[in-house]
Amino acid sequence: MKKYLLISMVFLLVFSCEDPYENENFVVYDLYPAATYLETREDEFSQWIEILKYADLYNAVNQASKTFTLFVPDNDAVDAFLSEKGVDNIADLGVSYAKALVQYHIIEGEVPQKEFLIGGKLTKATISGDYLSVSFDDNENTEGGLNSVYVNEEALVNEFANEVTNGFVYALDDVLTPLVETVYDRINENSQYSIFKEAVEATGWDEILSTVYDTVQNEFGGTTVVKRNYTAFVVSNATFGADGIASLSDLASKVGASSDYESPENMLNQYVAYHLLSSTRYIEDLYSFSDGDSTAIWSTRASKQVISTHNFWGTNYVNYDEATSSGIELVPGKTDMPARNGILHEVDHYMPVFAPNPMTIIWDVCDFDDVASFVNAYGAENELGDIYQIPQSGEHWIQFTTDAIKSYSWKENSTAGWYPPLGYLVTKTNDGGKTNTYKAYKNDMLVVNLGYLGHVTMQTPVLLQGRYKVELFYASAGSLAPFVSGGSLCKVSLDATENEVYVYDGAKASVGIYGMTLFNEIEFDETDAHQFKVVLLDARATTHSAYRLQLDYLKFTPIND
């Protein structure tokens, strides 16, 4: 029997007309791995091949075990790039430069044409750890469509997704310039900023502004790499000159500094720290306000000092002073200057430390640098790109680890559900990113599922001295129905001031953001940051599998008499 079956199988193999590949074309003979493919078009790409070899990455991109997407500038592009750099040969720029350059042009993984043409930041990082962005020139005088697609707004794409055995090759009309300069490098390279640069160096901030990645030691001896980001408000020599400052010593005496510049209490040190924020804030971030507001407050690196940004009558200001009806402006064309570890904006005044009036503060409880770094690392790992505060096509619940997250301290007790004990929720969007399903502020929430008597503590931004009403905004959802009737007891505190509240009381068991008052009135004697703590006092926090808090933001509204 077996024999006949075998025979008939052979017949089937020989005579069957069912060809599963019937209508497909296979042109196997012209598919090569990436580097070999470039060799077949040597007359167009020989220069880049040379750079690949010099950087010792030629063989790497020929590996069959991995896939790559290569962005390859043609020979004219490389020539133009070298001549702009003032060199004849890639060797003149050194191996490490060549490596950085090439790594910036390679993504590990495949980016097919259709994914590429979605536009915006690509979701897979380059080998150098950066995200390339795709944009479209929609000016009516351009050819348009496939003929007007740019990478990083600097290199026109000539050819899309040429197929190679281990990925895709895109041909570019220009070399991409990798962002290698740090915030300090940006200050250092511009002679217009020499006084500010000297202040940065004298106070020791140059080292911090040169840091891109920090390796943080954790309590168990392990380490975590944290990406650092800064926003620097730089001042040009000309602007200093307008206030009679011609040198570092002039500046030191203007701000009343003694000579121990490296001390955090030193006035010059404070002056420099006051010009720095611990995160990347583009103009768009600095001047987007919550509903009906036109003012925002930002904690600086100077202890207990904030700057304010305002948009009045269509003009963007920093530290607008109502007493004098004037404010500092940003210098046109000198804003959003990118660096590897942040961004620079030039201001049109030397910007001394200033105390703005108390104002409403909206504080997103996930607004911490280490959270951003941690969440974006998760995004990179899962090929989602940067996802911090960016709504996604599906929700992501990202659990914090004590190694990586230092902005919260927490105590975890046993729980019943699958929700992360403490974590970050990236919301989902159904409209291409315009809104999220919860309508959550900044598209994120802090998830707290620490069990009965579990607690979490975090530091608020610097709040100006005064009296405030404090409200908490949190999310509810259908699965939280058991907690909506009667609420869930929590103890909240700001420093030593405590209050017991019932979260979810009065909310609906449907997806959305709800508000409650934590403190009707609380007084801060001085301008400072505060410790905000939540203790879970609901026994169901341990027993009920749906239990968790999803905290969105705190709102501090000043109380004026």
Does the protein bind another protein through residue 44 (CB under 8 A)? Answer: no
Identify the residue among 21, 27, 30, 140 touching another protein (CB under 8 A).
140
Q: Could you give the angle at which helices 75-84 and 42-54 cross, rounded to 10 degrees?
A: 50
Does the protein bind another protein through residue 144 (CB under 8 A)? Answer: yes
- Closest CB to another protein among residues 11, 418: 11
Over the Cα atoms of the chain, what is R_g? 28
Size of the site for another protein (CB under 8 A): 39
Identify the residue among 159, 185, 321, 386 touching another protein (CB under 8 A).
159
- Closest CB to another protein among residues 435, 499: 435
Binding map of another protein across residues 78-117, x = CB under 8 A, - = no contact: -----------------------------------xx--x
236-243 contacts, C-beta under 8 A, 24 or more apart: 236/192, 236/193, 236/196, 236/331, 236/346, 237/192, 237/193, 237/194, 237/195, 238/192, 239/346, 239/347, 239/348, 239/349, 239/350, 240/195, 240/196, 240/350, 243/349, 243/350
Does the protein bind another protein through residue 145 (CB under 8 A)? Answer: yes
Question: Site residues for another protein, window 371-400 (CB under 8 A)?
Answer: none
* Least distance in angstroms from the C-beta of 161 to another protein: 5
Does the protein bind another protein through residue 67 (CB under 8 A)? Answer: no
Identify the residue among 110, 163, 250, 403 touching another protein (CB under 8 A).
163
Identify the residue among 30, 43, 381, 431 touching another protein (CB under 8 A).
431
- Closest CB to another protein among residues 28, 496: 28
Does the protein bind another protein through residue 244 (CB under 8 A)? Answer: no
Identify the residue among 158, 190, 299, 341 touching another protein (CB under 8 A).
158
Identify the residue among 31, 91, 95, 146 touching another protein (CB under 8 A).
146
One-letter amino acid for residue 380 of the chain: A
Question: For residue 230, what are the contacts with CB-CB under 8 A and spacing of at least 6?
Answer: 183, 208, 209, 276, 277, 278, 279, 280, 341, 342, 343
8 Å CB contact between 66 and 108: yes
The interface region with another protein, picked from 195-203, 237-245, 425-433, 519-527 by CB under 8 A, is 425-433
* Least distance in angstroms from the C-beta of 199 to another protein: 41
Length of the chain: 561
Whole-angstrom distance, CA of residue 68 vs CA of residue 123: 14
Question: Site residues for another protein, window 12-41 (CB under 8 A)?
Answer: 12, 15-18
Q: What is the largest CA-CA distance in the chain?
A: 104
Does the protein bind another protein through residue 10 (CB under 8 A)? Answer: no
Strand spans (E) along 329-479? 337-339, 342-346, 361-364, 396-399, 408-411, 422-426, 444-448, 455-459, 466-476
Alpha-carbon separation of residue 148 from 105, 140, 265, 393 (angstroms): 19, 11, 53, 28
Does the protein bind another protein through residue 4 (CB under 8 A)? Answer: yes
Binding site for another protein (CB under 8 A): 1, 4, 7-8, 11-12, 15-18, 113-114, 117-120, 135-140, 142-149, 158-163, 430-432
